[in-house]
Structures are given as C-alpha cells and as structure tokens.
Structure 1
Amino acid sequence: MASYNPVNEAVIAELKKIVGEKYVWTTPEKMEPYSHDEVTDPKYVKMPEAVVLPANAAEIAEIIKLANRERIPVVPRGAGTGLASAAVPFKGGIVLSLERMNKILEIDTINMFMVVEPGVTTEAVQKAANAAGYLYAGDPCSGDSSFIGGNVATNAGGNKAVKYGTTRRQIYGLEIVTPEGEIVTLGGKCMKDSTGYSLVNLIIGSEGTLGVITKIYLKLMPLPKEQIDLLAVFPDLTTAIGVVPKIMAAGITPTCVEFMDNETIKCCEEFLREKQPHSDNGYYIIIKLEGENEEQLEEQAATIDELCSENGAMAVLVADPAKIWKARKAFAEADRARSLVFSMEDIVVPMSEIPKAVEQIAAIGRKHGVTMHCAGHAADGNIHVNILKDKMSDEEWNRVLPAVQEELYTLVYSLGGKLSGEHGIGYKRVKLLERFASPVEIKMMKAIKQALDPNLILNPGKVIDI
C-alpha cells in the first residue's frame, strides 16, 4: 500500500503560484461540497486537504508533478454527480476540480465533431449541438448538471444507449494529463484508428485513475427530424420486461426503452406532485422513437402497440414527453427524498435475462424485508436497483445491506452480468469488484495502474486498491 504525505503550507504556497491564490481553497466551508458526491451515506464522506481549480492542462500538469514529488494524492472531480464516490478524497490530498475548464472550443460542421473542455455540462453540449443542427447522442439522466468530463471518466450510459451506445461510442479523441504530469492527445477526429493500443478507450471509464481529461473530441450526428414517445402500461414488472426482447426482435431500433416498477412510479409521483397514468397498479415501459419522417414512426408505433397489447399491456399511450421523462429522470431524487440514505446498485445483465433478474431481485427484497425500487434501461439490460434504508437503524442497515448485495451480485454474475452498467466502481464497489471479478481481470487492471501511475497518486483507492 502506498503511503502519502499531508498537504502542508509549502505545498499550498506552490499550488497558489501555479493557479493563483483565488483558486486554492482550504477552509472547511469552501471544501465541504467537495467531500462527497451524490451518495448520501455518511461513510462515503471525506474532507479534502485542499481544493484546487486549474484553468488549463499546463496548470494541471504542474500540479501533478508537484503531487508526485511530494507523494500527495490528487482526485480529479467534475460536477460531483457521481453515484460511486469516485471523486471523494478518501486518502486525503488535493481535489482537482475542473469546473473552470468549461469552454466549447470548436464545432466542426464538416467533420461533425465538437471539441470541448471537461467542465462543460452535458446539457450545454446537447444544446450547442442542436443549435448547429446536430445531435450529441450521450444522454445520462443527470445531463442537466453532470460535466461531460465526468461522463467520459465513468463511460456514462443513459437513456439513449440502446440506439447510440454509451459515452465510449461518442468519443474519438482525448487530451489528458498523465499520472506523471505529461500532456498528450490520444486519437482525434479520425473515424478509424488501428494505430497501436486503443488508449482512448483505456482512459474512458477509468474514473480519473489513469489520467486527467482536459479536452474531448465528441462525435456529432444528424439531428432526427421526428420523434414520438410511447408509454406501455403492464400489470406486473415481469410481463412489462418480457415484451422488450420482442420489440427489439421486430426490426425496430428504439432510441430509448426504459422501465419503472410500480413503487418507483408512486414514489416519483409523490415527489413531483404530478399524477402519472395508471399509477395505482401499473408498471411502465417508456419508448422513444426517432426517425426521418412521421409515417415511418407511426408504422413503428403501431407495431409496438400491437406487440405490447398481445403480451399483456393494459394500455399503450402516446406520452407527453416532458411529463414522462421528468418522472423517469426523478427516480434517484424521489428515493432520496423518501430515504436520505439508500444504495443505488447499477447492475447489467444480458437483455434476455432481465425478466429473471427482476423476478429474483424482488424475491431478495422480500427475503430481507427491505424496500427495493427498480427502474432503468430495459433494452440494454441495465437495471438500477435502489435499496432504501427507510427507518432502519444504522446497525441494522450495515448488517442487511451487505447480505442483500451478496445475493444480488451472485445472481447477476450467474446470469452473465456485471457489477455496473454505467455508474462505475469508484470507491463504493472496490471490494465488490474484488469479490466478483475474475482474478485475472484484477491482475491486469493493477498492472496497468502501476505502469501508468508508479507513485499511485492519481485517485488512489478507486476501481482497484493497490
């Protein structure tokens, strides 16, 4: 295990020389927001020793070199919307906030690329692309507040991943500062690249452990001309999920196929104070279709209506997109309002195994007497399972949660699934990864980390712990 030194007054003085006194924070009130992400359990809170806000890659490189020399951990941070505590400084040191690096540098309409800094919000990227007549396909539920750099660092998924893929599919190039303080551009605007190892893809999803992302080359797509949102309501979640493979096998590629169980619908309805259709006993499949003409979408909608009705749907409606997506995206906030402490699990299984997974998840909840709400991305097998603490004592919660997780992930891996579909491992799932991943996978990850970050100063203790 690496040993680290504290951030002393001499280090603070050097940091101020690099970025300016205004952008080095050491007071508790300034640093408190950087002591946690969206995980609300108090055991995932840790105060930084300093928060530094650099303006560019050159400043970051100097900070990283200083940290290597002094053996001080550095934790890169975006907007703090993560759900795995990946941006929390559990080993102390410097939180490197990228919020000042918030410029859209270029919209290349010929090659259909946008070049941005990491501190631009996902929503700002989407709006800038739309204004230029293009689509940026990445669409995590936290897009109104999450930074694009954080999306890249976690390989964020989101609602449109079934058609367009995760963030990895949108990225063709990155500028990074390495763990030793070197600045390098990986990839770029080329559509093909077989030039050695795929280092771009190594950095994507590495959660700030292998480099600090300072510039991102985003692929743009033509903006769809038409879209329609459908809401299919089913009497139970197994029936609802069961129709998804049939829709995908019908020759239709929806942009989104989301699901919500009934308890989740009611929780979101209460949180938003907005009545939802069939919320008394319904289970939702929400489908977005996009295309070039209205006639094509109407034909696809009719096919989906027929498939859902044949497979037990109580109703198939053309949905109000603003209302239905507001409810879907409020999932985490609604559960947080009900139970300040909860554990959001982010499992992924092959699409064909979703009905079995959902049925067994419900059984695990009943066995342990815990409230478990399910929602997520039905067509790509990504199920968000929120385990609520509710009124449990801390002692009971700390006993029940590991038992639930053990059974949940044993189930997931028996179905050919994985720990995380889009939220990442961070700090929260390090022990779970060691428990369930192949020892060979862990060995390879550790070898990469040690090779690129020999002093183990960049976001230590996340993903894997050496």
Structure 2
Amino acid sequence: MRYNPVTPQIVEQLMSIVGEANVVLEPEKMEVYGRDETSEAMWQHMPEVVVKPENARQISEIIKLANREIIPVTPRGAGTGLAAGAVPMLGGILLSLERMNKILEVDRENLFMVTEPGVTTGEVQRTARAEGFLYAGDPCSAESSFIGGNVATNAGGNKAVKYGVTGRHIYGLEVVLPNGEIVTLGGKCVKDVTGYDLVHLIVGSEGTLGVVTKVYLKLMPLLPFVADLLVPFDSVEKAIKIVPTIMTHGGIIPTCLEFMDSMSIKAAELYLNQKLPYSDAAAYVIVEIDGNTERQVEEDYETIGKLCLENGGLEVFVADNPSAQDRIWKARKCYAEALRMISPVYCMEDIVVPVSQIPRALEAINGIAEKHRVKIPCVAHAGDGNIHATLLREDRDEHTWHEVKDRVLDEIYREVYALGGALSGEHGIGAKRKGAMARFLHPAQIDMIKSIKKALDPNLILNPDKLVDVL
C-alpha cells in the first residue's frame, strides 16, 4: 500500500480541525510519540505530524481527511505499550488521545462508569473506590496507562484471575470508524445479543478497526476485606507447581496469583534500593484474597498458606493493611523498569498457556535460555497462564543480539503452541509480533482478520502495519 505524505496543506486542514496549538510538528516534541515502552530501536518511527483532538467530532474530521488523502493514522494513548502497537511505523498522522481525559459519569444505580479514553486506569480505579465500587481492571501500568489503551489491547493484569481481563468489564463503546462515522456500540445493558458482538470486536483490535472515544465500564461492589501473601520458594519448580494446586483447591478463587523468578527478584531489589524478604529465594509467589468478611478472608489465606508450606514454601508473609500490601506489590509492579537497570535493551514476551501447562512452559523457557546462553528472567500472572519472559541483550553487539533473539523467540513460540498456548495474553501483537502471528496462526484465522480489516477500512489508513499484512 502506498500512502501520501503529510503536506503543508494537510497540516493547515488539521489545524483548522483541532486548533494550531494542538498540532505538533517540531521533531524534538514529536520524538516521544515515535516509540512506546519497547526498548529496541527497530520498533521506533517518527510521525510526520502529531494531532491532539478533544472529542469524537474532531477525530471524525481527521479520519475523513486521512481517507480522502490516503494518509496513515496511528491512534495512541499513553504510549505504555510493549508491542509497538501505537508507533507510527509508516509515518503519517499520530492521533494522540491525551486531551480526552474526562470521567463523564458514575452511574450508581446501574453500576457503570463512562469515561473518555485518555483517563489513566489508576484514576478510574480511585474514582470507583471513592464511590464504594471496584473497577477490577488492574494492569501493572495502571498509574500511567490509559483506559483506551487497555481497551485496544484487552489488557489483563493482576486481578484477571478472579475478575477477568479488560473486555469482561466493557459493555459499550463510542467509536469513530475508519470511514469517519461515529457509532455507539452497546451501552449499559448487561445482556445484549442483538446482532454480532461488535463491542468485543473492537476490544483487543489495537486501533486497527476504529478509534475508541467513549468507554462504558462495568463496576462491582467493593469487597471490604483484602489480604496479600508473599511466599518464597527454594526452587522454581516448587513455586510454579503450587499455582494449579491453589487454583483447583476447595473453591477458593484468588484475586491475584503472581510468580517472580530469582533474576526478577534481584532486579527489583536493585531498582527499589531496598532489601526484600528472602531475596536469595529461587522464586516468589504472590497471592491476593478478597471477601465480604474478615473471617472468610482469614480462612482462605490460612488454607492457601498451608498449601504453600506443605509444597515447599519457605515462609508465608501476610499483609492485611494497605502499607504492607504496597510493599509486597512494589517488587512485582516495577518489573519492566527494574530490568532496564540490568539491560537497557531487552525483548519482553507475553506468552500465554493453559494454567496447568505453566510448569512445562517455564521449564522449556529455562532450557532454551541455557541452550543459547541468554538470560530470560520471568514473571507471570500465573493464575491465568500469562508469562512475561524477557530476553536480556546485555553486552551483545547488534548483529549477535538479533541472531540470538530470533532463534530463541522461534523456539519459545514453538514450545508455547505445542502446549496449547498463544503469542500474547495482554500486550498485543502490534508491529513487533506481526511476523510471528503470520507463522503460527492458522491461515484461515489470518484470512478472517484480513477480511474484517478490509471490510471496515478499505483504504487501510487506520493503524496500518499492525497485526497482519493485509496486502
């Protein structure tokens, strides 16, 4: 597909839509929009212009203009992605949603929050909590990621074990389609089978099928009692094997069930500049329990703690107040930042397998790391089978790094698919995993994705060069 450049005349039209102050052309100001949290230079590319609309109408006009002129448009939230999904790989217009940052409504009667896409996930959580509700979406990047980006990638996060990923909490969307039409899909009805499920076609589509401008989020009653457990283990095998044991024992559903290996623990300790308990352990398992009564929560964490100790846990640390809980979670949530201190360039993967296959998946990853003499620290949303395995470049030269990385990733992906898994649990495909998806997904599925893309976006202007090559 051949796209046209952004000319001075196009810039003038963009300024007439959003105002001169909301069009960015200076290279030094655009630089931040040419990358996300993916550390490799190959996944960085500058836009030709950055535009900051404030409503759906302005986005509609921008999309219509881009369609007429055949110019690529890349929607972008906070830029916290890890798959180059919001990087303008083909240049063109970068559509930043940062000004659309309002919470529009908290509907206490129907338990819904309506928000624009540029609100941080953390603000959504705090607003819900202040009203006595829970918004259960909880990616580790909650304080920086936008809710629109969570929708685009169907983000998972820590609480997905019990409450599900982002899409489970989305009942309606306002979307600007690739032809510029503004449409509302779904809304506040909790049941709706009127036609295809178009809401969840958009959720997880990574900005390739429409630009989300309004989100209807389902809220839940806030359970009053929460406790967190930190359990160190002297071997990775013991730590990861406890996961299916916990998940299948006695009907207890943890809110969170996380895993960290030794390299990740050490990196967090270095980053936080503080001593962690049992920091010489081979692995941590972190478990969160919530409930309606203090007694129920105590019984549940005592049961899980006993299971852990019976299966090789060295000790069980219990945190039942916000300060202690925050100390437990800091180490897990700083994972990406901590690894940068060890290796500024790395490749974070987002593989997912059935929960019962997590022990075999981690065993395979460790074997591949030893075979190729690379370091691959791992953390996992273990309760839902989502493993973040991160290849560290360390002191390898560029050529050697890419050779080793390509071999290692191919072997990891093959093992994952042999275990019934998939490439991505929550970070998305973006530009980074597009080639791998073409290799590992069934051709019929690829054709379905291409057909949907071409039907909704015949000029292929919206976030092109992501997910699949349509032409």
TM-score normalised to the size of structure 1?
0.99
Tell me which of 334, 338, 344 is aligned to 1:340.
344
Structure 2 residue 352 is the aligned partner of structure 1 residue 359: no
User: Could you report, residue by residue, the CA deviation over 1:106-125 in whole angstroms, capped at 9, with x for unpaired residues?
Assistant: 00000000000000000010
Read off the aligned partner of 1:307 and give its amino acid letter.
Answer: L
Structure 2 residue 299 is the aligned partner of structure 1 residue 299: yes
Name the counterpart of 1:202: 201
Structure 2 residue 411 is the aligned partner of structure 1 residue 412: no
Tell me which of 356, 381, 388 is aligned to 1:384.
388
Q: CA deviation at 1:248?
A: 1.1
User: Could you report, residue by residue, the CA deviation over 1:408-429 in whole angstroms, capped at 9, with x for unpaired residues?
Assistant: 0000000000000000000000
Name the counterpart of 1:137: 136
Q: CA deviation at 1:281?
A: 2.6
Tell me which of 349, 370, 386 is aligned to 2:374.
370
Structure 2 residue 52 is the aligned partner of structure 1 residue 48: no
Q: CA deviation at 1:31?
A: 0.5
User: Could you report, residue by residue, the CA deviation over 1:98-154 in whole angstroms, capped at 9, with x for unpaired residues?
Assistant: 000000000000000000000000001001001111000000000000000000000
Task: Look up the SS of the partner of 2:316 in the other structure.
Answer: strand
Q: What are structure 2's unaligned runs of at least 5 residues?
A: none
Q: CA deviation at 1:171?
A: 0.3
Q: CA deviation at 1:376?
A: 1.5
Structure 2 residue 34 is the aligned partner of structure 1 residue 30: no
Read off the aligned partner of 1:418 and give its amino acid letter.
Answer: A
Whether contact under 8 Å (2:232, 2:281) holds in the other structure is: no
Q: Distance in 2 between matches of 1:281 and 1:377?
A: 19
User: Could you report, residue by residue, the CA deviation over 1:361-408 in whole angstroms, capped at 9, with x for unpaired residues?
Assistant: 001001001110000101100000010001111111011000000000
Q: Distance in 2 between matches of 1:117 and 1:170?
A: 15
Task: Look up the SS of the partner of 1:290 in the other structure.
Answer: strand
Structure 2 residue 257 is the aligned partner of structure 1 residue 257: yes
Q: Distance in 1 between matches of 2:261 and 2:96?
A: 37
Name the counterpart of 1:18: 17
Task: Look up the SS of the partner of 2:179 in the other structure.
Answer: coil
Q: Distance in 2 between matches of 1:110 and 1:260?
A: 40
Q: Distance in 2 between matches of 1:274 and 1:318?
A: 19
Name the counterpart of 1:290: 290
Q: Distance in 1 between matches of 2:329 and 2:469?
A: 38
Q: What are structure 1's unaligned runs of at least 5 residues?
A: none
Whether contact under 8 Å (2:243, 2:382) holds in the other structure is: yes
Structure 2 residue 279 is the aligned partner of structure 1 residue 275: no
Structure 2 residue 3 is the aligned partner of structure 1 residue 4: yes
Q: Distance in 2 between matches of 1:164 and 1:55?
A: 32
Tell me which of 395, 399, 405 is aligned to 2:403.
399
Tell me which of 422, 428, 433 is aligned to 1:424.
428
User: Could you report, residue by residue, the CA deviation over 1:256-278 in whole angstroms, capped at 9, with x for unpaired residues?
Assistant: 00000011101110111111111
CA RMSD of aligned residues (A): 0.6
Q: Distance in 2 between matches of 1:9 and 1:422?
A: 38
Read off the aligned partner of 1:289 and give its amino acid letter.
Answer: I
Alignment of 1:320-339 (within 5 A): 320-339=324-343
Q: CA deviation at 1:282?
A: 3.6
Structure 2 residue 444 is the aligned partner of structure 1 residue 443: no
Name the counterpart of 1:153: 152
Q: Following superposition, which runs of at least 4 residues in structure 1 exceed 4 angstroms of deviation?
A: none
Name the counterpart of 1:63: 62
User: Could you report, residue by residue, the CA deviation over 1:301-327 in whole angstroms, capped at 9, with x for unpaired residues?
Assistant: 111111111111111111421111011
Q: CA deviation at 1:22?
A: 0.5
Q: Distance in 2 between matches of 1:187 and 1:218?
A: 11
Name the counterpart of 1:458: 462
Q: Distance in 2 between matches of 1:302 and 1:112?
A: 32
Q: Distance in 2 between matches of 1:427 and 1:336?
A: 21
Task: Look up the SS of the partner of 1:318 in the other structure.
Answer: strand
Name the counterpart of 2:308: 308
Structure 2 residue 354 is the aligned partner of structure 1 residue 350: yes
Read off the aligned partner of 1:448 and give its amino acid letter.
Answer: I
Structure 1 range deviating more: 267-276 or 317-326? 317-326
Name the counterpart of 2:116: 117
Q: Distance in 2 between matches of 1:309 and 1:103?
A: 47
Whether contact under 8 Å (2:88, 2:463) holds in the other structure is: yes
Whether contact under 8 Å (2:156, 2:164) holds in the other structure is: yes
Read off the aligned partner of 2:397 and give its amino acid letter.
Answer: S
User: Could you report, residue by residue, the CA deviation over 1:176-220 in whole angstroms, capped at 9, with x for unpaired residues?
Assistant: 000000000000000001000000000000000000000000000
Q: Distance in 1 between matches of 2:375 and 2:311?
A: 28
Q: Distance in 2 between matches of 1:86 and 1:385?
A: 19
Q: CA deviation at 1:82?
A: 0.2
Task: Look up the SS of the partner of 1:371 in the other structure.
Answer: coil
Q: Distance in 1 between matches of 2:302 and 2:348?
A: 35
User: Could you report, residue by residue, the CA deviation over 1:65-90 in whole angstroms, capped at 9, with x for unpaired residues?
Assistant: 00000000000000000000011111
Q: Distance in 1 between matches of 2:240 and 2:127?
A: 35
Q: Distance in 1 between matches of 2:38 and 2:364?
A: 25
